[in-house]
A = this chain, B = another copy of it.
Amino acid sequence: MSTHTTPTTITGVRVVDVRFPTSLSADGSDAMNKDGDYSAAYVVLETDGPLRGHGFTFTIGRGNDLCVEAARQRALPLVGLAVDEVLDDIGGFYRRLAGDTQLRWLGPDKGVEHLALAAVMNAVWDMAARRAGKPLWRLLADMPAEELVATLDLTYLSDVLTADEAVEMLRATEPGRADRIAVLAGQGGYPCYTTSAGWLGYSDDKLRRLLNEAMDDGYDYVKLKVGADVDDDVRRLRIAREVVGPEVRIAIDANQVWDVPEAIEYLARLAEFEPYWIEEPTSPDDVLGHAAIRRAVAPIRVATGEHGMNRVLFKQLLQAEAIDFCQIDSARLASINEIIPVYLMAKKFGVPVCPHAGGVGLCELVQHLSIFDYVAVSTTLDDRITEFVDHLHEHFVEPCVVENGRYTIPAAPGYSAEMHESSLSEFAFPDGSYWAASRAALAS
């Protein structure tokens, strides 16, 4: 052979601090987070060919710079390596990046360092799906079980889930996968609910209008923020019930504002409106607290997980029978490597996974996770519903498409994580054009 191709190499990592001024409009406001500026620590793995990998973690403003720097440091060991070397051993490279013991001390597996690992591994998986020419959900559904399990982080999980069990569980779903993909396509995609109507900072009139719009858009499931003031919440839930009627499910979300006894007392006041679930009633770390609340407030069901720091927390939430719904976050858990183990554990315990979304780009990511779950893990849509929040999608090259209360199935290669260069140059912090103009206006 006189010719050979030079393998494509990862030549660099670019990390951008992107911040959107959402605090100005109270989009995303809740009882805990009144003035978030939705932000991303956005990672691009660059190569000497056309292939790229895009990923991010989501934050709400200050401190996003720390995630950016942490992601840059985490990704450095990948620079200079052949793309195929990394993508053919994603499990090995995950362990290499996650296993830096000096960085591990800063967690382990939590906080800024873990968010940064999520951003980097999200970019690796995006790159893997692009290399395969498939949307990520499809890449995962097509992977042989052993190969997929070899990528998973099962550390500290073997009392609940071993690698052998994971392989068996995935193999068992292989026969029906094509049928389930057809089912989803036939019904227009994966079911979702909307949180767009219920932010705490909205007026009663805006709440009423947005709920009416949600009904017109075909939702049979909405979510309201609660927890700042019980009388206000009673009034807002009464309005919501009036607008949506008795059949539509209304979930409520307290964003961690209560202690355990407070949660139980407060929820007694809201029970008459038959909330479908109470989300984040207390500290995301309080496994036993969630279990106590769940026992006390039944039949209201308990959901949590958007701040669930790692797989070990989810293992315990399941072991302690603390939750009815498992709300993993695609940018807080360390990407597919850590997320699929949670899906598998949740299946073992019979708990539906209903991913957290919203923020920046979380909807783009979780559509892949929910579809993969139905096709290859849970094999059911019962009690499964994924969050959808309708803002900031315009910054993505392949935004998710929601119609009639369903995420349509993404077809483009990758993890749908790529942002427009124009958005980056406008909202990069602190020197993008938006922020520079904002500072200039303040100074004048």
Interface residues, chain A, CB within 8 Å of chain B?
32-37, 59-63, 65-67, 69-70, 73, 100-115, 155-159, 256, 259-262, 282-289, 292, 307, 309-310, 312-313, 315-316, 319-320
Contacts and interface: CB of A to CB of B under 8 A. Distances in A.
Contact of A287 (B62, B110, B283, B288): B288
B259 A286 contact: no
A32 B285 contact: no
A63 B71 CA distance: 11
Given A288-B316, A289-B159, A59 B105 contact: yes
Given A261-B158, A285-B309, A285-B310, A115 B106 contact: yes
Contact of A288 (B33, B307, B320): B320
A109 B282 CA distance: 13
A289 B60 contact: no
Given A60-B101, A112-B112, A285-B312, 17 more contacts: A32-B101, A32-B104, A59-B106, A60-B102, A63-B106, A108-B256, A111-B113, A111-B114, A155-B283, A156-B282, A156-B286, A158-B259, A159-B259, A285-B310, A285-B316, A287-B288, A288-B319
B111 A110 contact: yes
A316 B287 contact: yes
Contacts of A59: 102, 105-106
16 contacts: A32-B101, A61-B105, A62-B102, A62-B103, A63-B70, A63-B103, A63-B106, A106-B115, A156-B259, A156-B260, A159-B260, A285-B309, A285-B310, A287-B316, A288-B315, A288-B319
Contacts of A113: 63, 66, 111-112
- 8 closest cross-chain pairs (CB), A and B: A111-B111, A61-B102, A112-B112, A62-B102, A159-B260, A156-B283, A158-B259, A285-B312
A101 B360 CA distance: 17
Contacts of A100: 62
Number of copies: 2
B105 A33 contact: yes
Nearest to A316: B288
Residue from A34, A282, A285 whose CB has the most chain B CB atoms within 10 Å? A285
B289 A287 contact: no
Contacts of A159: 259-261, 289, 292
Given A111-B114, A285-B109, A288-B320, A102 B37 contact: yes
Contacts of A287: 287-288, 316
A111 B105 contact: no
Contacts of A309: 110, 285
A62 B292 CA distance: 39
Nearest to A262: B158
A260 B158 contact: yes
A101 B33 contact: yes
Contact of A289 (B34, B108, B156): B156
Nearest to A154: B259
Contacts of A35: 101-102
A63 B156 CA distance: 24
Nearest to A115: B106
Contacts of A310: 285
A35 B109 CA distance: 19
A70 B60 contact: no
Contacts of A260: 156, 158-159
Nearest to A62: B102
Nearest to A359: B105
